[in-house]
Amino acid sequence: MVAVTTMEKRTASLTRKTRETEISMTVCPDTPGDIAISTGLPFFDHLLHAMAFHGGMTLSVRASGDLEVDPHHLVEDVGLVLGTLLDQWLEAHGPVERFGSAEAPMDEALARVVIDVCGRPTSVLRADLPQTRAGTFDLYLVREFWVALAGRARISLHGLVEYGENAHHMVEALFKALGMALHRSYTPCEGVRSTKGRLD
């Protein structure tokens, strides 16, 4: 693996290359900016764009990988890179508000996300999806992204799809809420939001 990280202004950028995937990403979680997503998985692109747009984020993702084997590698690695960048952005620009939560509807579906930027990775996702695919995208991959993001960002990430009938709507509502919760939790503030005086 080769990983190169750069910080410019308030964005964090990283290129990660392995035998399975190559991912270049730039992110700023608290400032709206350009959004450009290309992963070779159209529904995943759609989810990431919704996350960034509704979260008021700057996000650029260029990803390629062994999709002919299984999209699992690429989706998980995008989560790893995003989590790594959020952790590095926090180191460069913290302290932040720490807690962020959001709810988002999508037609008949409703989802909620709660985040604690605490330095202790925890991943919870409760989503009883009535369909296993959205187009050709296997929806079990959402969990792989979720776990990877929480682990590398070192955040407590809770997602709940409260109800819905269309799995596409349910997962899209989840990603919209994720974007808003990320924006709120990574908004800069004065002083560390911890009674211990540090987040670890």
Contact 109, 165 (CB under 8 A): yes
DSSP 94: -
Domain contains 196: no
Cα 176 to Cα 54: distance, rounded to the nearest angstrom: 6
Asked if residue 194 belongs to a domain, the reply is no
In a domain, 136, yes or no: yes
Residue 7, pLDDT score: 65
Classify residue 128: in a domain, yes or no: yes
CATH number of the domain encompassing residue 115:
3.30.230.40
195 occurs within a structural domain? no
- List the domain range (segments joined by +) for residue 176: 2-185
Taking residues 19-23, report their average pLDDT.
Answer: 95
Provide the pLDDT for residue 189. 81
For the segment 174-198, the average pLDDT, to the nearest whole number, is 83
- Strand segments, DSSP code E, in 72-118 are 99-106, 109-116
> What is the domain count for the chain?
1
Tens-place pLDDT, residues 67-87: 998 999 999 999 999 999 999
**Res 8: pLDDT:** 64
pLDDT surpasses 70 at 171: yes
**CB-CB contact of 115 with 185 (8 Å):** yes
In which residue are the tokens 């989706």 written? 75
Indicate whether 192 belongs to any domain: no
pLDDT score, position 199: 59
